[in-house]
Amino acid sequence: MIRSTPDIDVCPSGEPGNLERLAALLADIQALRLDVDEEGFTPAGSTAGETSAEDLAAGGNFRFDTSLGVLDVMQWLAGIDEDDPYAELSADAAVAEAFGVRIQICSLAHLRAMKRAAGRARDLTDLADLDAAHSSGR
């Protein structure tokens, strides 16, 4: 089963130049940082202009509403126990091209580990669907 997602998750390299480019991109796409409360995600009242490379370098996860849709910047990930999740994920990531841009996509094994660790109902459903679609790739 194919399930679309309402957002994009990225796990950036923590190298300073990369975080500077990410902060600039967030400003370019008019990112508005979202917070989580008991109602779900709500505007935090801060724009990406307030999310500098230094803010990103402190680690943590951020959710943004952007001119292109919702973007999650993930710098720690459930199911990935390494200090540098980018290095861990990129070590065996698949490489693809989208709109002329080279992108890396986490491996099926890492995707399964993250969904298992998250344990939400939709993640458990996704795991069952992944197992059905990729039963030989366990």
70, pLDDT greater than 50: yes
66, pLDDT greater than 70: yes
Rounded distance between C-alpha atoms, residue 116 and residue 65, angstroms: 26
Domains of the chain, by residue range, sit at: 1-75, 77-131
Closest CA to 79 of 52, 39, 107, 48: 107
Residue 138 pLDDT level (bands cut at 50, 70, 90): very low
45, pLDDT greater than 60: no
pLDDT for 87-118, tens place per residue? 999 999 999 999 999 999 999 999 999 999 98
Rounded distance between C-alpha atoms, residue 77 and residue 113, angstroms: 10
Pairing label, strands 7-10, 32-37? unpaired
What does pLDDT average to over the chain? 86
Secondary structure of residue 50 in the 3-state scheme: helix
Q: What is the pLDDT of residue 5?
A: 82
Distances (CA, A) of 119 to 31, 35, 54, 112, 135: 28, 21, 31, 11, 20
